Homo-oligomer: A and B are copies of this chain.
Amino acid sequence: MKKLFFLAISLLMSLSTFSQQALGGGQSIVSPEIRDNNTVTFRFLAPKAIKVQLTGDFLPSRKVETSMGIMDAPGIVDMKEGENGLWEYTTPSPLAPELYMYSFIVDGLNVKDPNNVYLIRDVASVTNIFIVGNGVNGLYGVKEVPHGTLARRWYDSPTLKTQRRITVYTPPGYETSKASYPVLYLLHGGGGDEEAWPALGRAAQILDNLIAEGKARPMIVVMPNGHTQNQAAPGESSQGLIKPGMGGGGSSFANADMENSFPDIIKFIESNYRVNKNKANRAIAGLSMGGGHTVRISAMYPNTFDYIGVFSMPPFLRFIGDTDTAFYTKLEEQMRAQKKNGYKLYWMGCGKADFLYQYVQESRKKMDEIGFTYTYRESDGGHIWRNWRIYLSEFVPLLFK
């Protein structure tokens, strides 16, 4: 009976997925194929195409002329047509462990890989992804370790007079333990939202793996939405399936709403989770715009955080002829107070190729002048998620020690 039952079900499956495959254009080839030696082959079936190319962030970058000047863009290589219109490209050497992004270009048209269902959105673009060797130090993969919980929920912000969506990671064992936990508030950049660190940042995997290796203390990680004019990530609010932009107009970059309303988030977490409610058990970190938020929030509430992480952002962001000094005078005063109150770690990371690199160096000088101590980590690369995943995985082990 079992065999017949299985046959029946197999037929059922074929029939019910036929329509979906017709819609989605599914193919039955393997792409990308990641070999044991970490070389990767990409395949694409396009018998009618004249030219098929591959673009990806693992290829040597190319210079492109734009209205903003010459800029770096991901490299492009030609794929080779084999039998029956199957195009292929294999990396000439193994790829280092990392999460990579790519697309195909078919006669000039950007096309996703129909054999790879793993896609990530960054602002308004979607690309295929793959992971080699579970990522840097093996931290980005899902491994056979205890897993935390990732919850999408909503909190009330009396300051902003609205409900807002928030992502909360609780570590393995949280639900059955009676213990209280420390909290890391983890902020995204100008193009992100409460889905950015979980998706592009692999935050849950990094935390699960660091905790399993005994390199990080079990902690709660709180990922709010840093655009105060939005209630939630694109597609997750009553605005519907809108086309995402950089912060939906950008007003939240300049106003201080995120800073002013941040106590609502802390209050929500501390009244909804078993947490240790003191400075020694609170950390805050962010990338780019979220790094700016981190600088200002940790300075505005100077006895709140013992651990501060500023990724790819100069604390004193002054450029393009900015002559108004009041903002920086106030920030400097706040940071002097923060210094006086003390903190255990002020960690800054920046890539050598980051377009903000020189501003980070200027800010460091300023911090040295006022005797504001910090740990500085310089990496390769620019203003990209590759760096932010690395910074997170290096920052988290330093917390709550």
Of the residues B2, B8, B23, contact of A102 by C-beta under 8 Å = B23
A142 cross-chain contacts in B, Cβ below 8 A: 232, 235-238, 240
- Decide: A250 near B13, CB < 8 A? Known: A109-B48, A126-B117, A151-B150: yes
A364 at the interface (CB under 8 A from B): no
What CA separation (Å) do A222 and B199 show in the bound complex? 23
Residues 222 to 239 of chain A near chain B (Cβ within 8 Å): 232, 234-238
- Decide: A48 near B125, CB < 8 A? Known: A119-B119, A163-B147: no
Of the residues B10, B107, B190, contact of A16 by C-beta under 8 Å = B190
Size band of the interface chain A makes with B: 35 or more
What CA separation (Å) do A149 and B149 show in the bound complex? 12
Chain B nearest CB from A40 CB (Å) reads 12
Chain B nearest CB from A134 CB (Å) reads 8
Of the residues B55, B141, B250, contact of A238 by C-beta under 8 Å = B141
Of the residues B25, B71, B124, B235, contact of A110 by C-beta under 8 Å = B25
- Decide: A8 near B317, CB < 8 A? Known: A24-B122, A56-B23, A149-B152: yes
- Encoded as 1 (CB less than 8 Å from any B CB) or 0, chain A from 196 to 214 comes to 0000000000000000000
What CA separation (Å) do A114 and B105 show in the bound complex? 13
- Decide: A152 near B154, CB < 8 A? Known: A190-B16, A238-B141: no
A378 at the interface (CB under 8 A from B): no
A263 at the interface (CB under 8 A from B): no
Interface stretch, picked from A178-186, A318-326, A335-343, A369-377, is A318-326
Report yes or no: A111 in contact with B108, Cβ–Cβ below 8 A. Answer: no
Counting chain B CB atoms within 10 Å of each CB, the highest count among A121, A144, A241 belongs to A241
Counting chain B CB atoms within 10 Å of each CB, the highest count among A147, A176, A244 belongs to A147
Residues 59 to 118 of chain A near chain B (Cβ within 8 Å): 64, 66, 68, 71-74, 101-103, 105-112, 114-118
- Decide: A112 near B125, CB < 8 A? Known: A237-B142, A238-B141, A320-B8: no
A7 at the interface (CB under 8 A from B): yes
- Decide: A144 near B101, CB < 8 A? Known: A20-B123, A243-B117: no
What CA separation (Å) do A130 and B272 show in the bound complex? 34
A107 cross-chain contacts in B, Cβ below 8 A: 48, 107
Report yes or no: A288 in contact with B18, Cβ–Cβ below 8 A. Answer: no
Report yes or no: B8 in contact with A319, Cβ–Cβ below 8 A. Answer: yes
Chain B nearest CB from A213 CB (Å) reads 15
25 residue pairs bridging A and B, Cβ less than 8 Å apart: A1-B324, A2-B254, A6-B250, A9-B254, A12-B288, A16-B355, A17-B125, A18-B66, A19-B74, A23-B55, A23-B127, A24-B103, A24-B125, A25-B109, A25-B125, A112-B112, A114-B126, A116-B241, A117-B124, A117-B126, A117-B244, A118-B235, A150-B153, A151-B152, A176-B272
A sample of 4 more A-B contacts (CB under 8 A), given A8-B317, A150-B153, is A4-B320, A16-B190, A48-B108, A117-B243
Rank and list the top 3 A-B pairs by shortest CB-CB distance, nearest first: A25-B110, A24-B125, A1-B324
Which A residues form the contact surface with B (CB < 8 A)?
Answer: 1-26, 30, 46, 48-49, 55-57, 64, 66, 68, 71-74, 101-103, 105-112, 114-119, 121-127, 129-131, 134, 141-144, 146-154, 163, 165, 172, 175-176, 189-191, 232, 234-238, 240-241, 243-244, 246-247, 250, 253-255, 272, 288-289, 317, 319-322, 324, 326-327, 355-356, 383-384
